[in-house]
Chain A
Amino acid sequence: MADLLGKDYAPPDVYGKVTGRAKYAEDFRMDGMLFCRLLKSPMPHCRVRGVDASAALAMEGVVAILRADEVPEQAGPANNILTDEPHFVGEPILAVAAVTETIAQNAIEAIVLDLEPLPFCVDPLESLRPDGPNARTDGNTVSSGEVQEHKWTEADFEAAGEGQLPMGEPGAEWSYGDIDAGFAEASIILDETFVTAGTSHHSMEPRTAMAYWENGKCYLHASTQSQSFVHPGIAAYIGIEPENLVYIAEYCGGGFGSKGGPYPLLSIPAHMSRKVQRPVLMRISRAEEYFLGSARPGFQGRIKMGFRDDGRITAVDVYIVQENGPNQGGGDMGAAASAISIVYTPLNMRYRGMSVLTNTPPRGAQRGPGQNQIATAVEPLIDKAAKQLGLDQVAIRHINAPTHDSLYGANRGPITSAYMREALEQGAERFGWEERRARSGQREGSKVRGVGVGQAFHSAGSSGFDGLLVITPEGKLNIHSGVGNLGTYSYATTSRVAAEVLKCRWENCEIVRGDSSRGLPWTLGQFGSNTSFTMTRTNFAAANDAVRKLKEIAARRLGGSATDYDIGNETVFARGNPSRRLTYAQAAQAAIEMGGAYSGHEPPEDINALTRRAVEVVAGTGLVGVARDNLERNGTVPALAAGFVEIELDLETGRIEILDYLGVADCGTVLHPQGLATQIKGGGVMGFGMAVSERHVYDRHWGLPAAVGFYQAKPPSYLDVPSEMDWHAVDQPDPDNPVGSKGIGEPVMGCAGAALLCAISDALGGHYFNRTPVMADMIINVASGRSQSHGPLQVNTQ
């Protein structure tokens, strides 16, 4: 099985991307289409006491206004569609539809709002104080999906040392082993407080959506990473059954976690369209993306780590206060703790966390949610320990790195495979770590060299989803993919598994995707680094179902038993007599004639309802291969990555020049080398942004965001990163995947950000900022012996 897998190819959608033919949500037009704009909260928390829209409605060209009471109310801390109690600046209060966008916006400006300001919070620790403000009227924290009120005592705050994180009653905790015994065994103990910034996703495509209704069905064009996975949730936001939604999302202009699941905003044009009985396009502006576009939770944390003389970590005690935005938010803090458990395999560990609500953009997953924040916080501390113990930075990571029998997270569950040690060894060799380390600290004028190595993890695979394909009477193989198109090309690469199993020429295959009406199976979303593992399994299962049916059809038509037959050259043939054969085209025609399971009229019992509907769409069109992935999976699937960085740091300007970068992946067997290279390097670029430039900034007095543009929130440009970057893969198969594959998209970001921060510390002779991002002014302050302009626990600062 190696005709297609492991080889480069041109994915089918790349042609549309370079020619401009690729259609994203804003590229669709309908006759009579209206434009919709949002009136959004100017305050971080308020109540809408009154809306006077009379002047707006009287304007020529204004068609309708949509209010919160006209759309399904979202329970508890879920993100709202529209609301009369906004919890963040920019939360949509109402929508206006008009014949042009200009008129819609002018109408928005003519609406008079009567707002009652309510208490708000942009710093979690402030909210935890006994008399601190709550972000919501019903509480200030989220635990187990519910809003609660948690306040720490004055004694809790006083017990913390100067600049150290107070640690009151947690909202979540777990532990294993005996941390006291672990610390007793340690030669050195670090106890450090740290801050990681909240960051925007910066997807290049604003989350525009266009909707219309025909014959009781809603047709929606929108931007999501996932296809089938978001379908039921979007239908629920619109208030219809999933079968009455036609969801079209062939291209997604970047998501990075923010478009992995369904989000309420994309239902607004659907509601408006239903109300006015005309197609409605809602464009979202770049500024609006900074309010509505989701964000990574920031951390205020404290970590105590014990090390033996040889560098082995005997105990970890970590406490994370998560800045969670005003709603449900993300599970970053728990994921961060689980990442510690597997990246450093501490002998004993305790995790405590508190997810605090703030009146800042709603939070959600961002590439490596939790795992990547903690990588940037902990990796520099590993170097601090290495320095105190006189150990090499790679060596101290190697001794703590996971192996196949390492255990994961609170439940101490097994993992499927881990090649972090190999990644470190091979990376150090390829990067020339020894030589570069030897010149670290070298100074030329105001510039000094530094090197760093970083590591990161994400769980990278799931199971139990469905695969669907059709061999047509024309002899073509249609592989139906419901995973979505985030831009990694993994939707196409994982589809090649079906072609491999069926021994089909790739030129003879079509990937059917992007439009739910074409019959797309139920699969997990395209997020969580899972596609390469999960979707190779579903396609493997569906293809094997098709192989079985091909052999049974041949036996029925040509005699003998199915076991007498084999496949090759897009035919099914008798092993003893290859001339006794059916082409795939003939077998597909036979399947249609035979009906039942062969033609898709009797699908298997164990598939999802959404897959069942997809099978109904294709039933009778050929030989239908459809199956749930019931293959074994015996643990968490770890994606692991190591990054190596060399920098030149200008001590007078704080400017960081990244001289070289190498990213190394443990992602199982490599399926698509070029695609993997883009993930490793692109993830690296995003990691650099996280490390040294990107952050939320809030005005503490008014609760207003100040980083609401690319030029303020600062994702990296061409000039911020090396013009050439290097990559490598360990390329060892995972035993729980039929083609050896694991995902990788997320840790390749965290390892790069961590490595860069380590290199900055190295260049500064071992100064640890305990904060991301490290901005130029912070570097200058250290280089010139000045104190920093922010306090150790301050968040949302410049």
Chain B
Amino acid sequence: MSYVDSSVAAGMTVTPPTTHSSWSRRDFIKGVIASGVSVAGMSYFGAGCTTPLPAQTGGVERLLSLTVNGQVRRVDVLPGETLAMTLRYKLGLTGTKLGCDRAECGACTVLIDDVNHYSCSTLTHRVRDREITTVEGLESPDGTLHPVQQAFIDELGPQCGFCTPGQVMSAVALLRANPNPTRQEAREAMSGNLCRCGAYDHYLNGVMRAASEA
């Protein structure tokens, strides 16, 4: 049996085994080598390596007004464009980081009307009438750092620093909703932000310090 699977974008000829279980891997390899045919199993297309980066689909850009860090910004936005891409690639706000681009890590966290959201998984068109705050929008006009930013310095929260803007934004969102959290409440509120350096303890120290000093 041989057929071409129309769903295979890479266009390879596919010769699936009749049932997977009846083929040992060695049989499979021997068969491949013996027949010399071009073989690729259906299974080769779930591995993630052939799938595109998510969300940046085509279409026609539309001019939107976005309120970012208190300023109205005019920007052309594709229908499927994520807020993270708009911020980073169209508005020059690169403080918002892309760690996974699929709502796993929280490095892209921004505030939408004071609530923390993953901007990698938020469509820009959906936040037209909302107040967006990024890490660049936290300092006072005179350059004074937000208490969370200062506390993260004092407690040496960041290590490599890549997750830090997201950690800062989740901490700010928490303290706006709950100015005096317990450490356990802070831990739960921050749990959508991964840190591979494992600086959780120091970030929590920072959150608690910012809460006590605010």
- State whether B201 touches A20 (Cβ < 8 A): no
Return the 6 tightest CB-CB contacts between A and B, nearest first: A20-B95, A685-B198, A253-B162, A487-B160, A17-B161, A682-B198
Contact of B105 among A18, A105, A255, A710 (CB under 8 A): A710
- State whether A723 touches B201 (Cβ < 8 A): yes
> Which residue on B lies nearest to A90, using beta carbons?
B49
Complex Cα–Cα for A740 and B10 (A): 58
Q: Which residues 170-214 of A sit at the B interface, judged by CB distance below 8 A?
A: 201-206
Contact pattern, A 682-712, Cβ under 8 Å of B = 1, otherwise 0: 1111100000000000011111110011110
- State whether B25 touches A701 (Cβ < 8 A): yes
Q: Is B123 an interface residue (CB 8 A)?
A: no
Complex Cα–Cα for A10 and B50 (A): 44
User: At the interface with chain A, which of B111-119, B124-132, B134-142?
Assistant: B134-142
Instruction: Looking at the assembled complex, report how far the CB atom of A487 sits from the nearest CB atom of chain B, in whole angstroms.
Output: 3
Cβ–Cβ < 8 Å partners of B158 in chain A: 14, 17-18, 487
- State whether B43 touches A24 (Cβ < 8 A): no
Cβ–Cβ < 8 Å partners of B88 in chain A: 26-27
Query: A719 with B40: in contact, given A20-B95, A683-B198 (CB under 8 Å)?
Result: no
The SS class assigned to the B binding surface is: loop
- State whether B104 touches A711 (Cβ < 8 A): yes
Contact of A716 among B28, B161, B198 (CB under 8 A): B198
Instruction: Looking at the assembled complex, report how far the CB atom of B78 sits from the nearest CB atom of chain A, in whole angstroms.
Output: 8
- State whether A705 touches B47 (Cβ < 8 A): yes
- State whether B201 touches A18 (Cβ < 8 A): no
Cβ–Cβ < 8 Å partners of A632 in chain B: none
- State whether B199 touches A253 (Cβ < 8 A): no
Instruction: Looking at the assembled complex, report how far the CB atom of B160 sits from the nearest CB atom of chain A, in whole angstroms.
Output: 3
Complex Cα–Cα for A11 and B145 (A): 16
Instruction: Tell me how many residues of A have a C-beta within 8 Å of chain B.
Output: 100
User: At the interface with chain B, which of A40-48, A456-464, A593-601, A777-785?
Assistant: A40-48
Query: A102 with B58: in contact, given A24-B97, A678-B202 (CB under 8 Å)?
Result: yes
Q: Which residues 250-280 of A sit at the B interface, judged by CB distance below 8 A?
A: 251-256
Complex Cα–Cα for A202 and B162 (A): 12
> Which residue on B lies nearest to A706, using beta carbons?
B47
User: At the interface with chain B, which of A74-82, A114-122, A432-440?
Assistant: A114-122
- State whether A254 touches B49 (Cβ < 8 A): no
Contact of A702 among B41, B152, B162 (CB under 8 A): B41
- State whether B99 touches A206 (Cβ < 8 A): yes
Q: Which residues 91-117 of B sit at the A interface, judged by CB distance below 8 A?
A: 92-102, 104-105, 107
Q: Is A291 an interface residue (CB 8 A)?
A: yes
Instruction: Looking at the assembled complex, report how far the CB atom of A29 sits from the nearest CB atom of chain B, in whole angstroms.
Output: 8
Cβ–Cβ < 8 Å partners of B33 in chain A: 119
- State whether B56 touches A102 (Cβ < 8 A): yes
Contact pattern, B 55-74, Cβ under 8 Å of A = 1, otherwise 0: 01110000000000000000
- State whether A112 touches B161 (Cβ < 8 A): no
Cβ–Cβ < 8 Å partners of B201 in chain A: 681, 721-725
Q: Is A608 an interface residue (CB 8 A)?
A: no
- State whether B49 touches A20 (Cβ < 8 A): no
- State whether A114 touches B38 (Cβ < 8 A): yes
Cβ–Cβ < 8 Å partners of A487 in chain B: 158-161, 197
Contact of A253 among B9, B136, B160 (CB under 8 A): B160
Query: A23 with B94: in contact, given A10-B153, A204-B194, A286-B102 (CB under 8 Å)?
Result: yes
- State whether B94 touches A719 (Cβ < 8 A): no
- State whether A112 touches B40 (Cβ < 8 A): no
Query: A704 with B44: in contact, given A487-B159, A719-B187 (CB under 8 Å)?
Result: yes
- State whether B97 touches A288 (Cβ < 8 A): no
Contact pattern, A 529-546, Cβ under 8 Å of B = 1, otherwise 0: 000000000000000000
